[in-house]
Structures are given as C-alpha cells and as structure tokens.
Structure 1
Amino acid sequence: MLEEIQLQQVLPQEIEKRSFEIITEELGNVELDPLQAPIIKRAIHTSADFDYLKNLTFSELAVEQFHTAIKNGACIVTDTQMAKSGINKKELAKYGGEVYCFMSDDDVAEIAKKQGSTRAVASMEKACMLDKPLIFAIGNAPTALVRLYELIDEGKLHPCGIIGVPVGFVNVVEAKELIMRTPVPYIVARGRKGGSNIAAAICNALLYELRDMEK
C-alpha cells in the first residue's frame, strides 16, 4: 500500500515555501488586496482552512495602521499562553514591542473570582494599566472581546488595533461583531472559526510583512 503513495520530495527548509505555493495555486484567479494577502494566506497555512479567505474582515486601512503601531513600539496582549508562545517575539522586539499574557497571573485569578467574571475579562482590565501602545490579539475568549468593547466605549482604553479571532459557540459571533462597531482598527474572523494559532499567525504575518517591506 505504501508503495502506491507518492510523497512530495521537499527539503525541510522548503516546506513552508512549498505550502504557500500550494495555497497560491489553489486560490487560482482570486484577487486579494496586496497588503491583506499575506495575512489571509498565513491564516490558511496555519489551519489548512480556506474559509479564512471569506471570514477574515479588515477595517479600512487596517494593515497600514497595524504596521504603524508596530513600528512605533506597540506591545501585543494576548488571551492565551499558546498565542504568546506562537508570536515571533524576536521580530516584535526589533521595534521595541513585547508580548503579554496575564491569564496565568495570580492577581488576575483573584480579581476574576471576586468579580465573578472570567480571567480573560480580568486580564483585559489589567492591560489597561500598561502605559504603552497596545495591540490585542484574542484567539480564545469572547469575553475578552466584550470587555475590550466596554473599556473602549467607556474611554478607559485606546488600543492601536484588535485582532479578534476567538473560536467557539457561545457569544463568539456576537463579540466579534461588537469589535467591528468600535473606531479601533481591527482584523476579525467573522463567524465561529478562529483560535490562538490564528491570532498568533496574524501577528506574525504583520511582522513578516513589515520585515519584507524593509529589505
């Protein structure tokens, strides 16, 4: 049986390049915005899900605004350690930025317990205390997006951008739609799909795009 399976002969260092070639081939004649294309393709590459071609939604001039924020030293706040681990911190550090995730912090757990809220909500509130330009990359908790919406509406938080791609069934669609009502630049995966891996992939796509533009 194994003799009938034809494997592609690809060097390890060429696998990612070949994957993106396959994605481009399968997209065929689909025309993508040149600044959005690397982000959409990396989301597809991460998930093998071409639905991101339709699902990823960008506010006007979002990519340019995210790039500007990163170049000005914006830090990234995530809602999972997985997303934090997946973001290329070395590339972000070139511009003076850091990645934060407060979900495992003892004070966040304590505040969430006292408030009867989720850790994601408490971690967004803790992020308000950072005296730095912030990009939020949310891939797991819709409650984080809802609290971000409230904090923005209350004038307590002024993010440089929000990547809203939580995955799930309860309030996921609604939370994403709330973010799209704010004046904040956003990249949102409409619908139920998303995840921490997608949040990290979008962050990395923005970073790699900047790197390539500066070569």
Structure 2
Amino acid sequence: MLNHPILEQSFTIIDQEVGQHNLNTLEYAIARRVIHATADFDFINLLTFSPNAISNGMISLQKKTPIITDVTMVKQGITTLVNKTFNNPIISAIEQVSDPLPGKTRTETGLLKCFQQYPNAIYVIGNAPTALIALCQEISQSNVKPSLVIGVTVGFVSVVESKQLLAKIDVPQIRVEGRKGGSAVACAIINALLILAWDSQ
C-alpha cells in the first residue's frame, strides 16, 4: 500500500471539506494530494488539466520516462515514491551546470541542457519561472514535445507570465493558475500521478 494510513485519514477530512466540485476522478486525486501538501483548498479551483494530460503522464511514468525537475527540492520530494514504483531517472536541471549562460539563471541553463538530451521527458517546474519560459520557447521551436509539463511556478516576478506562455502551447500540461505553486505542489502532482499509474496496472 503506497499511501500511509494517516494520509488516507487526511484525505477523508479533505473530501468532507471540499464537498462538491467539478473535477473528474483522476483530476480530483491529484487536487486532493496538492491540498494535503499545502492545506490550501484554493487549489481545487486553480489546477488546470489539458486533455489527456493525466493519461499521458501515467503512461509515460509506466514507461520509465525520465523526469526533469527544475530544482533539487522537487527531485528529493519525489525520489522515494519513484523508487517504490517505476524507478524513472530523475534529473534536476539546476544540478547540471555550475556556471550559467550569460544573462540566464543556473536553472534556466540547466533546463536548456536537459531539453537537448531529453526532449520527450516529463518536465516538472515547481519554482523557477525563467526555466518554464525557457522550456516553452524550446518546445515552440522543436518537433519533439515533452510527454507532460507540470507548470506550477511560484512567486511574483514572471510567474503568471510563465504559466500564460505554457497555456498557449500545444503540449500535455498540468498548471496552477496565478501566483501559487511551489515545490510541495510539484511533488504532490507527480506523486499522485505515480500512484494513479501504479494502481492502473
């Protein structure tokens, strides 16, 4: 059993407080885990799923598709469950470079490097809007698309713009609208997808 009993108890409480909602079963499984990670019920309305995003993510995880994270914290937050399920390679973009390209952040530079090597990976951007913007630009110019993009950047500078840019691109994606997001949200989404993929086998 991948879910701890205390987690299941928390889910019961969340279900009671959420009540009626407009998400389907799979979408709600992801939203519920995000709410558990953040104690923020706003996410029931902020999460956006493109058509087939969840099924694409589940199939890609089952195929052991690499997972590219923007920062190390996201990588650490999903490693345990990845190791218990499909053992996908997990690569943190920021760990790929010591010196950023001129005018770019380390995370952005690392992500560009990762996209050259793994264009069809699952991309999980939980913090850095510069990385999400760079990814969107690369996707727009490439014939190969990621299996899934999770765009949940957080903060105040370029955050909303990065998500709006992702929304305009034809790629399977899960987004959080507005300023909210972060590592905990990114981890919750991937971990929920891992459990859905594992249980659907």
Same fold, judged at TM 0.5 (above) = yes
Mapped contact 2:153–2:159 kept (Cα < 8 A): yes
The code of the aligned residue for 1:181 comes to K
Residue number in structure 2 paired with 1:87: 78
Structure 2: state its 5+ residue gaps: none
* Secondary structure of the corresponding residue to residue 174 of structure 2: strand
Structure 1: state its 5+ residue gaps: 1-12
Residues 167-204 of structure 1: CA deviation (Å, up to 9, x unaligned): 10011011011111111100000100000111111000
CA distance in 2, matches of 1:69, 1:164: 17
CA 1:117–1:104: 2 relative to 1, 3 Å: same
The alpha carbon displacement at 1:133 in A equals: 3.6
The alpha carbon displacement at 1:89 in A equals: 4.7
Residue number in structure 2 paired with 1:160: 147
1:172-191 counterparts in 2 under 5 A? 172-191=159-178
Residue number in structure 1 paired with 2:137: 150
Mapped contact 1:136–1:159 kept (Cα < 8 A): yes
Decide which moves more: 22-31 or 173-182: 22-31
Residue number in structure 2 paired with 1:109: 98
* Secondary structure of the corresponding residue to residue 193 of structure 1: coil
Residue number in structure 1 paired with 2:32: 41
The code of the aligned residue for 2:44 comes to L
1:133-144 counterparts in 2 under 5 A? 133-144=120-131
The alpha carbon displacement at 1:157 in A equals: 5.2
Residues 84-141 of structure 1: CA deviation (Å, up to 9, x unaligned): 0000455367435211103134xx232x1x4221112101111023257400101100
* Secondary structure of the corresponding residue to residue 87 of structure 1: helix
Residue number in structure 1 paired with 2:60: 69
1:195-206 counterparts in 2 under 5 A? 195-206=182-193
CA 1:178–1:203: 2 relative to 1, 3 Å: same
Report the identity percentage: 38
Pick the structure with greater CA Rg.
Answer: 1
Alignment RMSD: 1.8
In the TM superposition, structure 1's runs of 4+ consecutive aligned residues that sit over 4 Å from their partners are: none
CA distance in 2, matches of 1:212, 1:41: 17
CA distance in 1, matches of 2:23, 2:78: 24
CA distance in 2, matches of 1:77, 1:93: 18
The alpha carbon displacement at 1:29 in A equals: 2.5
CA 1:58–1:92: 2 relative to 1, 3 Å: farther
CA distance in 1, matches of 2:122, 2:177: 19
CA 1:53–1:90: 2 relative to 1, 3 Å: closer
Indicate whether 1:193 and 2:180 are aligned. yes
The code of the aligned residue for 1:147 comes to A
CA distance in 2, matches of 1:16, 1:195: 20
Residue number in structure 1 paired with 2:197: 210
Mapped contact 1:149–1:179 kept (Cα < 8 A): yes
The code of the aligned residue for 1:212 comes to D
CA 1:127–1:93: 2 relative to 1, 3 Å: farther
The alpha carbon displacement at 1:158 in A equals: 2.0
CA distance in 2, matches of 1:82, 1:129: 22
Residue number in structure 2 paired with 1:128: 115
The alpha carbon displacement at 1:213 in A equals: 2.1
